[in-house]
Chain A
């Protein structure tokens, strides 16, 4: 994204909103151009551009660019996902810790029971097929207390 761009040319919405560091996150861009956007089979088939494979690589690529460089770690050289000889089943070698992030999954399954990357692909399929609510529909009346930020505010974290 280009800074200051407004797709409507109207100035509505206050223009571009950037992440905290002032630049559009490369992660956000890669996620979109590699994992979203219309998939069209061109007449030149880029067979090795397998989306599932890329989705997996994407995580590593971005981390290596944005995080690892700063931190000075080179874990990707040892990560089974990035080694050419590793099959997809290599994901099991990733530590449980990494997979324990809570995720708003379509199936509402505890995240630690998923193998992170496979879960993502499953959900991606559902995302593509459902324009609206991806997780279980909850009747509006049964919604447990919708947030009321004005009253519930407990302090600001910026």
Chain B
């Protein structure tokens, strides 16, 4: 390790028989290496400190193409590691000045890693996002309500407008509460099939790239043998309501479940 290199950490896994490095290339196009310490293995890559130093990184993060490429590369290594066994994915841009820093991490937090690995063994993360088409939902909800607002015709134009506005607001609110109820029910149905679940904030419409409301953005940690029933249920739920669209992604490395029990630190 020369002074101009820094160590990028991708994931931590168990030191099993097959501890050859995953074949995926790293964020700098580098060959990925494994560092074994005790019962644990860290998947790392040596990257140019000048390109991946803290100051430079901050600038890179403003570069959309750089961020996209780096995120995909990081995920590819994590996924390749997950393909071989239980893995704890590490957040993007976790850097050490040398291998010894990583080894020290494996030593000092061995138990955390072991319990985290235990929690995800034989399981994979599946993402479930539910969308509601607001127009379609409003139509199905307002079929009854609209009849009652017909009597406003004889009122003055101003109050008719206000009444109409109020009706629109009410329709929007009832659509939102109906959608929220759907989300709760979807989650309530899926949860029993999973070892763990996380509800993430709904993605911004610009992030999801969809006009539809995202009403659920959840991650489920599913046992291998429950994969099929889980998928079947997601499919069922996607056909439950006309205005509802349920999207399944995965299997993912357990990104959403990488917090060791008893360790909820954010930094």
| Interfacial residues, chain A to chain B (CB-CB below 8 A) | 1-2, 5-10, 12-14, 16-20, 24-49, 51, 54, 57-68, 98, 100-106, 108, 110-111, 116, 119-120, 123-125, 127-129, 131-135, 138, 143-144, 146-147, 149-150, 152-158
Contacts and interface: CB of A to CB of B under 8 A. Distances in A.
Interface in B151-202: 172-173, 176-177, 179-189, 191, 196-202
Given A2-B79, A32-B75, A103-B215, A49 B93 contact: yes
Given A12-B227, A13-B231, A46-B58, A37 B89 contact: yes
Contacts of B173: 110
Contacts of B215: 102-104
Interface string B227-267: 11001000011111111110111111101101111001111
Nearest to B54: A46
B76 interface: yes
Contacts of A43: 95-97, 101
| A128, A153, A157 interface centre (most CB from chain B within 10 Å) | A157
11 contacts: A12-B228, A17-B249, A37-B78, A38-B12, A39-B266, A42-B9, A51-B266, A59-B204, A105-B201, A135-B199, A143-B185
B40 interface: no
Contacts of A128: 259, 264, 266
B68 A144 contact: no
A92 B266 CA distance: 26
Interface residues of B, number: 110
Contacts of B266: 39, 51, 125, 128
Contacts of A38: 12, 88-91, 116, 258-260
B251 A29 contact: no
A153 B183 CA distance: 16
A33 B255 contact: yes
A7 B187 CA distance: 24
A77 to B, nearest CB: 12
Interface of B: 6, 9, 12, 24, 53-55, 57-58, 61, 64, 67-68, 71-72, 74-76, 78-80, 82-83, 88-97, 101, 105, 116, 122, 124, 127, 132-133, 136, 172-173, 176-177, 179-189, 191, 196-209, 213-217, 219, 224-225, 227-228, 231, 236-245, 247-253, 255-256, 258-261, 264-267
A125 B176 CA distance: 24
Contacts of B245: 157-158
B140 to A, nearest CB: 8
Contacts, number: 282
A40 B207 contact: no
A134 B198 contact: yes
Top 10 nearest A-B pairs (CB, nearest first) are: A63-B206, A13-B227, A48-B58, A120-B201, A149-B236, A32-B255, A37-B91, A38-B258, A44-B95, A36-B255
